[in-house]
Amino acid sequence: MFFDRDVMDKAGLLTGDGQLVPFESPKHALELMDKLRKDGGKLGPVFGHANDAAMGWRMFWTLFSQTGATFDLTGKRAEIDEDTAVEVVRFMADLTRDSRTMDVQTAIAAFAGGRSPMIFSGEWDMATYKSTLKDKLGGAPIPTFYDRPAGASDSHALVLPHQDDPDPERRRRAHRFVAELVRSGLTWATAGHIPAYTPAVSSPQYARLRPQSEYADAAKQLVLDPPVWFAGSGSDFQTRMCQALDPALGGSSSAQSAVRSMVSQINTLLAQPNPA
C-alpha cells in the first residue's frame, strides 16, 4: 500500500521513523481512518475494484488469510468459514467506503491527484505515484488488521520447455539468460517490484530506494492463491470471486450475499474435471 507522508504525519498516523502506526484490529483501523478523513479534509483510503478481475479477490484473500480461518478446497465441496468471510467482506466495504464505485484508474487518479492520502494498490503502480508525490510517497506492506501478517501475492516465472534431445550449449545459454534476469533485480526494483534475488534486496543500493525498500518485507508475508487447478493470476476463478464481491463493496448487496455467491462459484469449479 502507499500513502502521502505529509498528510499521514499531520493526522498522527506515522511513527517516529515515518512508517504507519500499527492497526490493533479492524475496529481500530476504521477509527483511525475516520480520524484521517477529519484531520486531512480528504477522502479516506481508496481501492480500485469496480469491474476489475483481480483486485477485489486480492483484498479479500489478504484479509481472510490474516484471520487464519478455514478455506479448504481439497475436497469435492468447499469448506470455508463463512461467518469469518462475511466479517471480512463487511470490513472491506467499511474500510474503502469512499471508493465504492472506483475502478483501478479512478482510484489511482484520486491518490496521485491528492484527493486521498492512502491507496491499497500493487507495487507495479509505484512509478505513477512517485512521479507526482516525489519524496512525499511512502509505502508499506499491507497492514495486519487481524491475527497474522498476510498479503495476497504472486510471482513471475520462466519455464524452459521439455525437449527430447536438447542441445547442451543452447540449454546453457538459456540458463545464463534466466540467471541474468534474476540478478537484475535492482532494475525490477526501480519499477516498484520486490526482487526475488536475495543479494539485490540486501544491497545498499536497494536500501536507498524509497519507498521500495520500505515495503520489501511484504515478501515475507505472502500468501498465494489456494492450491487448486483453477486458481491463480488471470484465472476465471479470480474473475468470478470479484464479480461476487463487487456488489457488496459497492453497497448494492450484503456481505452475506457476496459470500454465498463466492462459495457457490467455488463449488461449481470444484465439480469440473481438471483439464490437465
Contact predicate 160/31, CB 8 Å: no
163 is a domain residue: no
CB 249 within 8 A of CB 100: yes
> What pLDDT score was predicted for residue 259?
99
**What percent of the chain is modeled with pLDDT above 90?**
92
| DSSP states of 191-220 | TT---S-HHHHTSHHHHTSTTGGGGGGGGG
Residues 130 and 177 in one domain: no
Task: Indicate whether 187 and 219 sit together in one domain.
Answer: no
Cell of 141: 506492506
User: Which domain covers residue 74, as residue numbers?
Assistant: 2-154+202-270
**58/53 Cα distance (integer angstroms):** 10
Those residues whose C-beta lies under 8 Å from the C-beta of residue 76, and which sit 6 or more positions away, are 270, 271
* Residues ≥6 apart with Cβ < 8 Å to 269: 228, 230, 236, 237, 240
Q: Which secondary-structure segment (H or E) carries 102?
A: none
Residue 57 lies in a domain: yes
If one counts the domains in the chain, the total is: 2
Each residue's pLDDT tens digit, 236-276: 999 999 999 999 999 999 999 999 999 999 999 999 999 98
Question: Same structural domain for residues 185 and 235?
Answer: no
pLDDT at 157 over 90: no
Residues 257 and 123 in one domain: yes
Whether residues 38 and 127 fall in one domain: yes
Residues 178 and 211 in one domain: no
21 plus 137 within the same structural domain: yes
Q: Do residues 145 and 207 both lie within one domain?
A: yes
Domain-embedded: residue 159 = no
pLDDT at 12 over 90: yes
Instruction: Say if residue 150 is in the same domain as residue 18.
Output: yes
pLDDT of residue 45: 96
Residues 84 and 194 in one domain: no
Is the backbone peptide bond immediately before 117 cis, with ω within 30 degrees of 0?
no
Is 6 domain-assigned? yes
CATH code for position 258 = 3.40.190.10
The verdict on residue 161 lying in a domain is: no
Please tell me whether residues 46 and 82 are part of one structural domain.
yes
Q: Is residue 24 part of a domain?
A: yes
Residue 234 has pLDDT above 90, yes or no: yes
Same domain assignment for residues 206 and 135: yes
Residue 275 falls within a domain, yes or no? no
pLDDT tens-place string over residues 180-232: 999 999 999 999 999 989 999 999 999 999 999 999 999 999 999 999 999 99
Residues in Cβ contact with 167 at an 8 Å cutoff, skipping those fewer than 6 apart: none
In a domain, 162, yes or no: no
**How confident is the model over 140-153, as pLDDT tens digits?**
999 999 999 999 99
pLDDT at residue number 104: 97
HEC profile of 30-93? HHHHHHHHHHHCCCCCECCCCCCCCHHHHHHHHHHHHHCCCEECCCCCCEECHHHHHHHHHHHH
pLDDT confidence of residue 58: 98
Place of cell 469491474: 51
